[in-house]
Chains A and B, each alone.
Chain A
Amino acid sequence: MTAASTPPMIRMAGVDKFFGPLHVLRNVQLEVPKGQVVVVLGPSGSGKSTLCRTINRLEPIDSGVIEVDGQPLPAEGKELARLRADVGMVFQSFNLFAHKTIIENVMLAPVKVRKTPASEARKTAMELLERVGIANQAEKFPAQLSGGQQQRAAIARALAMKPKVMLFDEPTSALDPEMVQEVLDVMTGLAKDGMTMLVVTHEMGFARKAADRVIFMSDGEVVEDSTPEEFFSAPKSNRAKDFLGKILTH
């Protein structure tokens, strides 16, 4: 590694993944430079979630290489935990810790993993809750919040670790329509601030507006890799044309 070339934030090379006989990721090649916002599109079952989850090794891969910020993913253990701390993840179903208040949710990992003093962690947590617009919900439990508020809390929780990159797996799919925009606004703000992001979503508006790059997956393969303009106006493959035809019928 020379001083001039910084490693990509995410690098996947020749990645294959099987669930039993099912080949869910096929020879995936992907490099995401720092600060890029990548939207992953594709039909259901094409492997988008799996791709997302292999990047912090929630799913181990069968062959190939995955590197985050130039560092290959270690095997399960302390070192992997350290790497995961640098990779923020936001789930479709929020997964806030049900027995902890919103502020405790946001403070927990900084205190437990980063050993940040509680007072400092609380201050940062409040700032983050302010930023995602739910500071007034800090002392409530997750079940007392709306879906949109819970997802914004989950984003704040991930940001509290000061991650180098954020992974989103369909962050708005479980939300009532009127709450989708408030979450997308937070994500758009993050993208503007220069966060490296990989976002699995069906929100075409977000893809057009906030993405630098669109990746289209089908049957575990990356079929297209282009800018949003190119992808939406002139998709190359039939599979992408098919997909867009189904999704963009307004």
Chain B
Amino acid sequence: MGVLTRNIDLFVHHFANTLKLFAVSGIASLLLGIFLAMLRVSPVPVFRGAGTLYVTVVRNTPLTLVFVFFVFAYPYLEIIKFEFFTAAVVALSLYTSAFVCEVVRSGINTVPVGQAEASRALGLTFTQMLGSIVLPQALRSVVPPMVSTFIALLKNTTVAAGFSVREAGAIRDALSELGEDTLTGMLWVAAIFVLLVMPLTYLQRVLEKRWSVAR
């Protein structure tokens, strides 16, 4: 307990950054992932190809390499200058969106083709059909894998520690500089992660229950 109480400010500060990384990357990956899934089911072959290429490349690249690119290599291109934090958000979002895309796409595949045909027959455009009919049903059917993807994102934020972002993964080094017991510190970090995942698990249960009625 001592390690935690003595360094409570440090823990709060680092975990606040973890949550910030998670929230911003989470929203960005969800939006980008859904957009990628739309590309992958588009009737336009070029869009489908672009979506597939993105997912194949990004999903098969280790997260650390995605970070390396955005934190070290990308600045040499001198397009836009990133803060470390921003670079971490970009890396996490680009990486996670590929997984979100595949989850959404598997959801789209569970929606019976008749739903899309009925939409088209009523005069809905492709985007209206996806937005109002297909995606809402697809997302309802993929709550558990989607939540797993976000739990993975939450834990993946710790990779940012290696790239100068002071989040939960950097607590160990910070404690060791202060001459604290890092092993106990790490156990606390693990415990707090368990606590943070709980609301996600709860959300999953609520959504599954709510949406099972509507189908």
**CB-CB under 8 A for A112 and B128, given A84-B120, A141-B214:** yes
Distance of A55 from chain B, by nearest CB (Å): 10
Find the B residue at minimum CB distance from A86: B123
| Beta-carbon nearest neighbor of B111 in chain A | A98
Inter-subunit contact B215/A98 (CB<8 Å): yes
- Bound complex: CA A56 to CA B122 (Å): 10
Instruction: Give the number of chain A interface residues (Cβ < 8 Å).
Output: 30
| Chain B residues near A58 (CB-CB < 8 A) | 117, 120-121
Q: Is B133 an interface residue (CB 8 A)?
A: yes
B123 and A99 contacting across the interface, CB-CB below 8 Å: no
**B118 near A: Cβ within 8 Å?**
yes
**Which residues on the B side are within 8 Å of A98 (C-beta)?**
115, 137, 214-215
Indicate whether A28 reaches chain B with its CB closer than 8 angstroms. no
Residues of B whose CB lies within 8 Å of any CB of A are 43, 112, 114-115, 117-125, 128, 132-133, 136-137, 140, 211, 213-215
A95 touching B140 in the complex, CB below 8 Å, given contacts A84-B122, A84-B123: no
- Which residues of B have CB within 8 Å of A91? 114, 117-118
Residue pairs across A and B with CB atoms within 8 Å: the count is: 70
Check B118–A161 contact: CB distance below 8 A.
no
Tell whether A161 pairs with B122 under 8 Å between CB atoms, given A98-B215, A108-B132. Answer: yes
Instruction: Please give, as numbers and ranges, the residues of chain B lying within 8 Å of A87 by CB-CB distance.
Output: 121
| Shortest Cβ distance from residue A152 to the other chain B in the assembled complex, whole angstroms | 15
Select one of B114, B122, B137, B140 contacting A109, CB under 8 A: B122
Contacts of B128 in A (CB 8 A): 112-113
| Residues A112 and B132 in contact, CB atoms below 8 Å apart | yes
Among B118, B120, B211, which residue has its beta carbon within 8 angstroms of that of A97?
B118
Name, among A83, A88, A108, the residue most crowded by chain B CB atoms within 10 Å (CB to CB). A108
Check if B121 sits within 8 Å of A113, measured CB to CB.
no
A-B contact pairs, 19 of them (CB 8 A): A58-B120, A58-B121, A78-B125, A84-B122, A85-B123, A88-B121, A89-B118, A91-B117, A95-B117, A95-B118, A98-B137, A99-B211, A109-B124, A112-B124, A141-B213, A141-B214, A154-B118, A158-B121, A158-B122
